[in-house]
């Protein structure tokens, strides 16, 4: 029996993510939670001929508790999204409170669940979530992830776009480390497989597009929000990886994590001087089983890493001071 709880399921990421989960046949139970509309969305999804039962829960009658009860995996997409002219940090004031309240209930109801935080700004909301779990005495660093998979998806996609029309993004594996916001997003094209051959100017353009891919969508949507379908796709890819790990299949994905609590992470954290950072994580039956070393990076990437770390330290401090 596998149960997933999707919090924020009536939102523009949550709804397509619910569809992907229901269509996948990977779940016996899918519980949707939001402040509006989810009972109807659940009924709608339940007309799909896959076996997972979908339930919708509103805040009344302990709806959040019911949605979380017995959950193996929780994905949090709840919160507000960016409008043109906003940075992810502008979302913090509203979304930090939402994350705090949700994780307070997670701590009480399903502290053993694997939790995926999509709600922005991830660089700050993940520290909020971990602090809530720490204060409740149920923090398991191998079970909580800031979802950065969209950056990895973009890194493959945008290099394929730069290389030509007939190039399949799936042919490229590009590690992306750091965080999930602007300069904190660091695609490591020097480690791309197969190796990427682009002139310096084109490569710099591709890196910038990965770092600011979110802004590209915000601008294009002209006030109607930010990434939704590609974020749902990426979030679902991460959930699938978690489940594959749980089944004992060898799999890695990048994620923004609390490094000191994951085998191999302490050394990386000491090296970088930050506790929260996105690296490639080995996933297993017990969640994150290993943080993989960053490896050799180019001179240009080293410079970008310094910039990323500076921004990231500030973002992490914002999250921690909210909970202090």
217 binds ligand LMR (CB under 6 A): yes
Shortest separation between residue 236's beta carbon and ligand LMR, angstroms: 15
- Beta-strand pair 251-258/276-284: antiparallel
Strand partners, 282: 252, 290
Give the separation between CA 105 and CA 161, rounded to whole angstroms: 43
Shortest separation between residue 160's beta carbon and ligand LMR, angstroms: 18
Query: What tokens does 77 get?
Result: 């997409």
209 binds ligand LMR (CB under 6 A): no
Nearer to ligand LMR, 86 or 244 (CB): 86
Peptide bond into 277 cis (omega under 30): no
Shortest separation between residue 182's beta carbon and ligand LMR, angstroms: 9
227 binds ligand LMR (CB under 6 A): yes
Catalytic residue flag (residue 180):
yes
57 binds ligand LMR (CB under 6 A): no
20 binds ligand LMR (CB under 6 A): no
Residues 6+ apart with CB under 8 A from 38: 9, 10, 32, 56, 57, 58
Footprint of ligand LMR on 137-156 (CB under 6 A): 150
Residue of 37, 57, 161, 180 marked catalytic: 180
CB 282 within 8 A of CB 293: no
Give the separation between CA 316 and CA 324, rounded to whole angstroms: 12
Shortest separation between residue 125's beta carbon and ligand LMR, angstroms: 11
120 binds ligand LMR (CB under 6 A): yes
Query: What tokens does 171 get?
Result: 């042919």
Q: Which residues bind ligand LMR (CB under 6 A)?
A: 82, 88, 120, 150, 213-214, 217-218, 226-227, 231
Provide the annotated active-site residues. 180
């Amino acid at each position: 029996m596998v149960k997933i709880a999707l919090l924020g399921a009536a939102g523009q990421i949550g709804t397509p993510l619910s569809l992907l989960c229901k269509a996948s046949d990977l779940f016996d139970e899918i519980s949707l939670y939001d402040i509006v509309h989810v009972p109807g969305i659940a009924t709608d999804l339940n007309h799909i001929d896959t076996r997972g039962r979908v339930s919708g829960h509103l805040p009344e009658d302990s709806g959040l508790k019911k949605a979380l009860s017995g959950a193996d995996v929780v994905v949090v997409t709840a919160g507000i999204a960016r409008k043109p002219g906003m940075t992810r940090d502008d979302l913090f004031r509203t979304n930090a409170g939402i994350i705090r309240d949700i994780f307070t209930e997670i701590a009480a109801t399903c502290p053993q669940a694997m939790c995926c935080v999509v709600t922005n700004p991830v660089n700050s909301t993940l520290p909020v979530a971990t602090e809530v779990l720490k204060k409740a005495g149920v923090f398991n660093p191998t079970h909580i992830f800031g979802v950065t998979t969209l950056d990895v998806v973009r890194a493959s996609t945008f290099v394929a776009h730069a290389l030509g029309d007939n190039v399949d993004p799936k042919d490229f594996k590009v590690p992306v480390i750091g965080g999930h916001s602007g300069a904190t997003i660091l695609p490591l094209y020097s480690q791309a497989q197969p190796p990427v051959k682009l002139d310096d100017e084109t490569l710099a353009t591709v890196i910038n597009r990965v770092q600011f891919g979110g802004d590209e969508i915000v601008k294009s949507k002209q006030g109607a929000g930010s990434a939704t379908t590609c974020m749902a796709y990426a979030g679902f890819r991460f959930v699938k990886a978690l489940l594959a790990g749980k089944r004992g299949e060898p799999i890695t994905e990048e994620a923004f994590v609390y490094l000191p609590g994951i085998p191999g992470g302490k050394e990386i954290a000491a090296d970088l001087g930050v506790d929260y950072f996105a690296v490639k994580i080995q996933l297993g039956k017990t969640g994150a089983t290993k943080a993989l070393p960053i490896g050799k990076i180019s001179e240009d990437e080293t410079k970008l890493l310094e910039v990323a770390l500076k921004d990231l330290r500030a973002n992490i401090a914002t999250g921690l001071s909210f909970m202090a």
